[in-house]
A and B are shown apart, each in its own frame.
Chain A
């Protein structure tokens, strides 16, 4: 096992044993839920149900109940869609990309980040489905033969690529998450005492054994899924950006969109992870596993992606001027100084200025500051999509059609409702699922746990030194060591 440099901050604080890790993660599931959980769950459920009500009203009445008009045919629906898909980028990025880079700090956060991803993609998927107006014919987006209509689906259209991208992303994310969950469900199954939970977790754990061969397969499957999911993460938001970039609308017709959207998605996704993780670690007593070092790493990701987004904003401005296309130029002048100036400048402040504060070490290690910034970033990222979508189309080529978008209360209700539903799912997850990849965390206890790091001459410390490289040559050394003890 690889041992970390002593000067690195440990990933697991305190004197934990393998059993402590199991206890710490399983206790919140096995104990009664605290009153706060019921309160939060109740609030989220009420908001979520209100959202469902609004959706049903929309489906029964038609999308005329949104604040759309003939100039602005796309507004909050697609804004919310892109916002949620963006948020849904952190989980897979953390578990897949950081797995490929062997970043061990991912282990404390990947499980809940992936759960968050899946729920965010659920919420995202809601919007394209309901904006069809007739939800029940949603399966027409699948390539079905002609007698369903007069034509096949059009594989030239980015909107169809989106169908494939989002559904692939959701389902692959789901299996990646679940395959990681199986061994942890087995741990809960084997600890469960009461019959109903025992039955439930036995069902969920699929009879997991923990055999050497199964772990061998497990590790390879995780690696290959990570390898598959990494380009998938980048492709999904690139394809979402094609929805705009392949059109001829000034402000949308931009080749910079794919990388810019991907960076923005990672930016907002990590912000959402921070928001949830900072609350969760406190509420579930996981401070030993998710602490300042993890928060700092995530803040660095936020800073880097935030800077990429900032550069992209400025590049867009420059290119709109440099293109010499007056419509393109006007689109950007209108964003900054037109009737939606407040949205543009909120976006600029939240997304360009606030992440730059993370250069200051004291700020990026401050949990309170991080929490505030994480919310600011997500507000900013919502405005980004709103600016791109609404301000680009509200003044089109024909000034007589110029218009403004005013959201109706149904727009608002559905948006807020998805936030409520998202928290309903997340709270249920935190209540019944292991929120930490507890068995994965056990593998880093000896290399990055505080008590092991600070005791370099113990059996474990010594033994774990360079095992992978030396293999058999270290046998003798190990035996000597065992004898000495």
Chain B
């Protein structure tokens, strides 16, 4: 379904932030902001929720800890216990000190890779993907606010345009996206 979107371009992150605040206070829904670097404080203004990737990292980490423990217990205690100088090796707990380094490393390995893969998938940033930003300058020094007409049905197109023009934009553009 083709949808009309307005892209308003700014050349300063603080001007954009003030502009977004003004628009939101008038009841406009800002659907997205594109910027070359993270604009601190923009998320609560336009209603971007905090990511839950941190929780995922924790879960991946726990998985790593468990896998390492189960694996080493099977290898070192169950399948082929080694007699090293007659030291106790009947239970996993007897030998746990020797297993801590690998458990730690494997936890970090799973947490980091799990989180990184989730991050790339959730962002849909994967090898070979085409550029998703509306204008090539948004990765250099320009900042763009995206308004979707379907999300702002209480305003007409002209009203939105005139409201944007009061916020210190440098360019305005309209596109149809799918």
- Do chains A and B stick together as partners? yes
**A residues at B contact (CB < 8 Å):** 1, 17-19, 22, 143, 146, 151-156, 158, 160-161, 164-165, 167-168, 171-172, 175-176, 179, 182-183, 186-187, 189-191, 202-203, 205-221, 224-225, 228-229, 231-232, 235, 239, 242, 439-440, 442-443, 446, 459-460, 463-464, 467-468, 471, 475, 478-479, 482
Asked whether, in the complex, the Cβ of A152 is within 8 Å of the Cβ of B44, the reply is no
User: What are 22 A-B residue pairs whose CB atoms fall within 8 Å in the complex?
Assistant: A152-B79, A156-B84, A161-B102, A171-B109, A175-B116, A187-B36, A202-B128, A207-B124, A207-B129, A207-B131, A210-B36, A211-B32, A212-B42, A212-B48, A215-B38, A216-B38, A220-B51, A232-B108, A235-B104, A440-B37, A443-B37, A463-B18
Q: Which residues of B contact A221 (CB under 8 A)?
A: 53, 115-116, 119
Q: A168-B106, A186-B133 are in contact. Are A143 and B71 (CB under 8 A)?
A: yes
Interfacial chain A residues near B122, Cβ < 8 Å? 217
CB-contacts of B71-108 with A (<8 A): 71-72, 75-76, 79-80, 82, 84, 95, 98-99, 101-102, 104-106, 108
Pair B80/A215 contact, Cβ less than 8 Å: no
4 closest Cβ contacts across the A-B interface? A207-B129, A190-B136, A209-B132, A18-B141
B50 adjacent to chain A (CB < 8 Å): yes
B101 / chain A contacts, CB cutoff of 8 Å: 158, 161, 164-165, 235, 239, 242
Q: Closest CB-CB distance, A140 to chain B, in whole Å?
A: 14
Q: Bound complex: CA of A215 vs CA of B38, how far in Å?
A: 5
Assess A155 versus B98: contact at CB under 8 Å? Given A207-B131, A217-B53: yes
Question: Number of A-B pairs whose CB atoms are under 8 Å?
Answer: 223
Whether A152 contacts B76 by the Cβ 8 Å rule is yes
Taking a contact as CB atoms under 8 Å apart, the answer to whether B140 and A18 are in contact is yes
Most B-side CB within 10 Å, residue of A152, A176, A464: A152
Chain B interface: which size bin? 35 or more
Please state if A190 and B53 are interface contacts (CB–CB under 8 Å): no
A182 nearest CB neighbor, chain B only: B125
B102 near A212 with CB under 8 A, answer: no
Given contacts A22-B141, A217-B51, A460-B14, contact A207 B42 (CB under 8 A): no
Q: Is B161 an interface residue (CB 8 A)?
A: no
Q: Chain B: residues with CB nearer than 8 A to chain A?
A: 12, 14-15, 18, 21-22, 32-44, 46, 48, 50-51, 53-54, 57, 61, 71-72, 75-76, 79-80, 82, 84, 95, 98-99, 101-102, 104-106, 108-109, 111-113, 115-116, 119-120, 122-133, 136-141, 168
Structural contact, B41 and A468, CB atoms closer than 8 A: yes
Contact B95 A156 (CB under 8 A): yes
In the docked arrangement, what's the CA distance between A19 and B34, Å? Answer: 16
Evaluate contact between A190 and B108: CB separation under 8 angstroms: no
- B14 & A463 in contact (Cβ 8 Å cutoff): yes
Q: Which residues of A contact B106 (CB under 8 A)?
A: 164, 168
Contact A160-B102, Cβ < 8 Å, known A215-B39, A221-B53, A221-B119: yes
C-alpha gap A153/B12 in the complex (Å): 58
* B73 to chain A: closest residue by CB: A155
Q: Taking CB as reference atom, which chain B residue is nearest A467?
A: B41
A207 and B126 contact, Cβ closer than 8 Å, known pairs A161-B101, A171-B109, A190-B137: yes
Measured CB to CB, the closest approach of chain B to A207, in angstroms, equals 3
Q: Is the CB of B54 within 8 A of A224?
A: yes
- How far does the alpha carbon of A143 sit from the alpha carbon of B106 in the complex, in Å? 13
Q: Closest chain B residue to A211 by CB distance? A: B32
User: Once bound together, how far apart are the Cα atoms of A482 and B109, in whole Å?
Assistant: 49
Contacts of B102 in A (CB 8 A): 155, 160-161, 164
Task: State how many angstroms separate the Cβ of A262 from the closest Cβ of chain B.
Answer: 14
Most buried by B among A217, A218, A229, A475: A217
Contact indicator A478/B119 (Cβ below 8 Å): no
A186 CA to B138 CA in the complex, in Å? 10
- Cα-based distance from A189 to B32 in the complex (angstroms): 22
